[in-house]
Structure formats: structure tokens, C-alpha cells
Amino acid sequence: MSKLSALIDDAKVGLSIQERIPEARWNAIAAHCGAPEVAEIKARIAALKAELATIEEWDGDTQDDIHLAISRFSRLLVLTGTPPDVVG
């Protein structure tokens, strides 16, 4: 498991499956991200965008889930101090 995955898993501790990770925990994740984690975040965003391109147009729920994940990882990237124009 990557450090980023471990940080995200740790942030989920104590939350129900329906709860989203609170903003304060995303900030804590970002504070522990170095260059390898930033690279992984960028790779995850790219992979999600590639996956989104394969989703059938009628599958709006899956598209929404992928867009949400892209948004969360993009926000995490910004929280790490990576400039927004580098996102994506």
C-alpha cells in the first residue's frame, strides 16, 4: 500500500461508510505528502480522467462518482501546495 493510500485510510478511521473525509483531515493528509505522493495524486487524476472517457453516456451515477474523485484529488493537490495550473 502506498503512503498516500495509507494516509487516506487513516483519515477514514472512525467515519461511517456514508461519511466523507472532513476538510481538516484532507489538510492533514496534504501536510504529510511529499514529492512521491504528489506524483501519485497526479497519476490518480490522470487515471480517473482516462476512466471517465470510457464510461457510457447513460451511466451518470458512475460519471458523477468519477468527477467527485477527480475533484477531491485535485483539491488535495492544491492543499499540498502544487499550483492549480499544474493540476490535471
* CA dist list (Å): 2 to 9, 32, 42, 57, 86: 11, 13, 14, 32, 22
* CA dist list (Å): 12 to 6, 32, 69, 82: 10, 16, 15, 24
**pTM here?**
0.89
The pLDDT of residue 83 is 75
**Average confidence score pLDDT of the chain:** 93
Measured CA to CA, the distance from residue 70 to residue 63 in angstroms comes to 11
Domain count, the chain: 1
Please give the residue range of the domain that contains residue 18. Answer: 3-86
* Chain segment 37-62, per-residue pLDDT in tens: 999 999 999 999 999 999 999 999 99
* Chain segment 18-31, per-residue pLDDT in tens: 999 999 999 999 99
